[in-house]
A and B are shown apart, each in its own frame.
Chain A
Amino acid sequence: MQATKLPLKTRIARMTPAQLALSCVMTAVFVWFIMACMILPIANLLKTVFFEGGKLSLDAFQKLIKSPRAMKALRNSFILAPTLSLTVGFVGISLVLITEYFDIKGAKILRLGYLTTLIYGGVTLVSGYKFIYSNTGVLTNLLASVFPNMNRNWFTGYWAVLFVMTFSCTSNHMIFLRNAMRAVDFQTVEAARNMGASQWYILRRVVLPVLLPSLFAVTILTFITGLCAMSAPLLVGGKDFQTINPMIKQFADMTTTSAKSLSATLSLVLGLATMLLLAIMTFIEKRGHYMSVSKVKTKIVKQKINNPVVNVLVHIYAYALFVIYVIPVVLIVLFSFSDSAHIQLRQLDFSTFSLKNYAELLSKTTAYKPFVVSIVYSALAAVIVGMLVVIACRYIQKHKNGAAATTLEYSLMLPWLLPSTLIALSLILAFNQSRWYMFNQPLVATLWLLLIGYVIIKLPFTMRMTKAAFFSLDNALEDAAKNMGAGEVYTFRRVIFPVLLPTVMAIAALNFNSLLTDYDMSAFLHHPANPTLGVKIKSLTEEMGNSSDGVALTFVYAVLMMIISSIVLYLVYGRGGRESIKE
């Protein structure tokens, strides 16, 4: 600690040659990465939108307004986002109340069912729903046998997207809102009851207000998810309900400059909307969370619903939700052992169960390659982003309030403000030609681009978590090491890093997990000869109904994903989990 900050010259003069060299290399790496991979590509994207033909113009926006497809996509996104916030909010709150507040029979089993979205999400989840509800789906077949004249294509468009996304977006509620519910001090409930308040009144006036800040935050996250929806509109939206992101992808895939410019404009609109929403969220976060003022906090005791009719209705509702959450998972697991013919007919016959689909995945290069590609990319990105952020956080911790540290922090948090499609598009537009700052190497259609994209999108989450871990470290540990003669690097290597390692590894595991089935970024940046798992599952899901082999493969992928995700989540949050991450 320096009482008065030493000038840069003095600090440099006090460095050993090795420390000086290390500092120079690190500075060069960070400046290059931030400029070449983030700032300049985004600047290039802005140039594409605002400087068409070398002159400042707003033509791109005029083109956007004139394009009926683009405007329809915009409108659809802005219809989907608020309605999704409402439906997810309703379902999410009910999940938390069912599992944490009310005394519901079988709550532990129900909780497991509701938590399935943590191990099974994105494009995999949409494919699961499609298997049940599409024109050849299990439920559709069942309904058609009862109502032969029904429209088999009933599960498509806005309502289908809303349904799928409602049940796939409750993960945030199950993590953040559940934590907030657990933080409610039961003594406040008892105090309210002691003063004669009814069950409904206590829920409305005592419990829910404590959850409000978390609820606002998760609602905004849901709104952003709705705006940036990609796989659900692509797979179940049909022709009539396409949103901004699929449209950006479609325009970006076209070869004309005009289409590319339209794509960039759409991504910019999405980026601005995201920034605005995140600003609102930050404002809400700053207003703070309600903290229990009790000296001794009491854990929530589950509340019995006094009214018997309401109690039965709530139980029916809870189990209906459980069925919606669990059926796709159960069917995917079961059908992954079934043969092609039965998958085609959507019929379960246990006598035909085998490990053939799994064997095929392991033996066919085309089948296992996407899996290996995703594992390698996710692992590499998780490790690289972890390393970059640990070094950055160490610098920020050592030089907090310094201009360089603040710039570094904001630069690495920048991707938080930008939708992944905007980042992906900016990388494509920047690196479809050689750039001096990328050593004159065009990166499009190379293996590097997706890796860069993955690293960039995982920076903000990793920064927030790692920085929190760094700042919760006891400064006295470092002082103690120095007091015993340890230098900067030795202290970091032997004292600080070992303490942080469990948290760093847990964050890397979570990053690995979420990148494994990524579709949004992969759809833009993947190498044509090396599709990722998300891309492969999406293409196989589109074939659903035509090729049963492809569907079987999708199920095997999904099962393996669920196993990997469960292991990762168990390591992070489970018995071997780390307190820092749990908090």
Chain B
Amino acid sequence: MIQLNGIEVRFGDFTALKDINIHVKEGQFYTFLGPSGCGKTTTLRTITGFIEPAAGTVMVKGKDITHVPVERRNIGMVFQNYALFPTMSVYENIAFGMRVKKVNKTDIDRRVKEMALKVDLTEQQLSRKVAELSGGQQQRVAIARALVNNPEIICLDEPLSNLDAKLRVQLREELKEMQAKFGITTVYVTHDQEEALTLSDCIAVFNKGFIEQIGTPNEIYSASKTEFVCNFIGDINKLTPKVVQAIAQQTGRALNPEAATYIRLERIYVNHSDASRAAFQARVIGAEYFGLYIKYLLEMDGQTLKCIDKNDGRQYLKKGDAVEVSINPADLMVY
């Protein structure tokens, strides 16, 4: 559906994107993930046409649109702050694109009302000014406005970043449902790894204008290809050479103690030994209560280790308690 081939974007002397190659399949929910300033929004704006690349091509359905002006691309976009026109009502905002295209009034009215229904906006809300709506309603207007013109692709630039935590989770779910309902190819930009993992079919992790890894959420999380991805996604422990050597000795696995070796928090077993794992004696030095789970801070062989334990009603561990920690070498990520 969308193909970016060797995209390079420069702002003066600064190269913002270098050799970006992406292939988004039809109907896919594709996420650009990365820290601030990594080039994810620049890539999105290159697809929508706000930025013209210095090199490379943007193809949609096999057609080169690299130099097609933004207004002729028919790619819907939801902006970070929604960019709803404050002087217009909700209805006028949604109808804007059709009025530009001089669609007749009856069709505009029908399509606006249909779209409002699909995104759960009432008729009364249509006549309101956008400033009178809540954050969640504004997001729905922005999505309706982007979708009403029947675009082939919809691009969303961190649309949840300005919302509070609870609303963010709620709207994330709504967004996923909506995408499934409309079946539209979606390109989504976020710096929030949880958002990327829960929403996406495919994720491209950006770093300093390059793509570090492209893969499914599980591939990105469980089989991070680079140290950057491994560190950026989720919470993680970096093991000391001494611990790595001990794991190698106990399990007979060939491990290089000098290599950067990581293990995710949930892959550390506490008081749950198994023959296939390396076992260590540790002591609890701190605990954080999260409700759903408890995060422990352990001291083991001179290494501080973080791990989590499900809050299943058992009495949780206290500072100073001695515990047995076991690690499966198959869970290690080595770089």
Q: Show the binding face of A for B, using Cβ within 8 Å.
A: 1-4, 6, 14, 474, 476-477, 479-487, 490, 494-495, 498-499, 501
Contact = CB atoms under 8 A, between A and B. Distances in A.
Contacts of B76: 483
7 contacts: A3-B9, A6-B52, A474-B81, A480-B84, A484-B71, A494-B96, A495-B85
A194 B86 CA distance: 45
A499 B84 CA distance: 11
A6 B51 CA distance: 11
Contacts of A484: 71, 96-97, 100, 145, 149
Contacts of A1: 45, 50-51
Given A3-B16, A3-B54, A482 B83 contact: no
A477 B85 contact: yes
Contact of B70 (A4, A477, A482, A499): A482
A285 B108 CA distance: 51
B52 A498 contact: no
B87 A499 contact: yes
Contacts of B75: 483
Nearest to A2: B52
Nearest to A502: B87
Contact of A479 (B11, B50, B53, B74): B50
Contacts of B181: none
B166 to A, nearest CB: 22
Contact of A482 (B54, B71, B86, B101): B71
Given A476-B81, A484-B145, A485-B149, A498 B87 contact: yes
Contact of B53 (A3, A482, A483, A501): A3
A173 to B, nearest CB: 34
Contact of B101 (A479, A480, A485): A485
Interface in B90-104: 96-97, 100-101
Given A481-B96, A495-B85, A499-B87, A3 B10 contact: yes
A508 B4 CA distance: 49
Given A474-B83, A484-B96, A484-B149, A4 B77 contact: no
Contact of A476 (B11, B71, B83, B88): B83
Contacts of B51: 1-3
Contacts of A2: 51-52
Ranked 8 nearest A-B pairs via Cβ: A484-B97, A476-B83, A480-B83, A498-B87, A476-B79, A483-B77, A485-B100, A486-B100
Interface of B: 9-11, 16, 42, 45, 48, 50-54, 69-72, 74-77, 79-81, 83-88, 96-97, 100-101, 145-146, 149
Given A483-B70, A483-B77, 6 more contacts: A476-B83, A479-B77, A482-B71, A485-B71, A485-B97, A499-B85
A152 B96 CA distance: 72
A1 B46 CA distance: 10
Contacts of A501: 87
B82 to A, nearest CB: 8
A3 B52 contact: yes
Nearest to B70: A482
Given A3-B10, A3-B52, A3-B53, A486 B96 contact: yes
A529 B319 CA distance: 96
Contacts of A486: 71, 96-97, 100
A480 B11 contact: no
Contacts of A481: 85, 96, 100
Contacts of A498: 85, 87-88
A580 to B, nearest CB: 12
A289 B65 CA distance: 47
Max chain B Cβ within 10 angstroms of own Cβ: one of A476, A490, A499, A501: A476
Contacts of A476: 79-81, 83
A494 B92 CA distance: 11
A9 to B, nearest CB: 15
Contacts of B50: 1, 479, 482
B79 A480 contact: yes
A4 B10 contact: yes
A494 B96 CA distance: 9
Contacts of B11: 3-4
B79 A490 contact: no
Contacts of B97: 484-486
A483 B71 contact: yes
Nearest to B97: A484
Contacts of A479: 50, 70, 77, 79, 83
A333 to B, nearest CB: 40
A419 B200 CA distance: 63
B83 A485 contact: no
Nearest to A6: B52
A3 B54 CA distance: 8
Max chain A Cβ within 10 angstroms of own Cβ: one of B11, B54, B96, B145: B96
A488 to B, nearest CB: 9
Contact of A4 (B45, B54, B74, B83): B54
Nearest to B99: A494
